[in-house]
């Protein structure tokens, strides 16, 4: 069963949740939620193509889509989002303090923009026959 549309729908919902995180200044959660949104969109694209994508790192998932000529800028944005997978949630990701001490509005907006670009790329390729 191909559930790529379900994965994409959840990616879009996660991106909307990130807007709420930004609005209420939960910068660390905005960064994590955008990573999740992009990850789910890339997994949806893999599923639609009959492939499996395992793990949580977006960068290798995008690189595996060799025939789609993923733009280098998109890879850079995936690399940024991959850095938000663990330290946004766990205090031991930094030498001291809580994750909220290390994230801010510009980082959250950059993460949101990166996830949006990755999701658009996936949507464009999912829309093709």
pLDDT band for position 18 (cuts 50, 70, 90): very high
Question: What is the tally of structural domains in the chain?
Answer: 1
* Residue 77, domain CATH: 1.20.120.330
Average pLDDT, the chain: 96
Domain that holds residue 43: 4-126
Spatial CB neighbours of 17, under 8 Å, sequence gap ≥ 6? 33, 37
pLDDT band for position 26 (cuts 50, 70, 90): very high
Cα separations in angstroms, 14 against 19, 24, 65, 112: 9, 15, 23, 11
- pLDDT tens-digit map of 72-98: 999 999 999 999 999 999 999 999 999
* Predicted local distance difference test score (pLDDT) of residue 129: 60
């Amino acid at each position: 069963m191909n559930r790529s549309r379900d994965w994409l729908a959840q990616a879009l919902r996660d991106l909307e949740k990130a807007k709420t995180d930004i609005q209420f200044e939960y910068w660390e959660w905005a960064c994590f939620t955008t990573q999740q949104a992009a990850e789910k969109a890339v997994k949806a694209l893999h599923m639609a193509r009959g492939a499996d994508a395992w793990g949580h790192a977006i960068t290798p998932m995008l690189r595996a889509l060799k025939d789609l000529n993923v733009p280098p800028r998109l890879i850079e944005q995936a690399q940024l989002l991959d850095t938000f997978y663990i330290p946004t949630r766990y205090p031991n990701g930094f030498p001291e303090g809580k994750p909220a001490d290390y994230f801010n509005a510009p980082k959250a907006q950059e993460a949101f923009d990166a996830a949006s670009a990755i999701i658009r790329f996936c949507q464009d390729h999912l829309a093709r026959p």
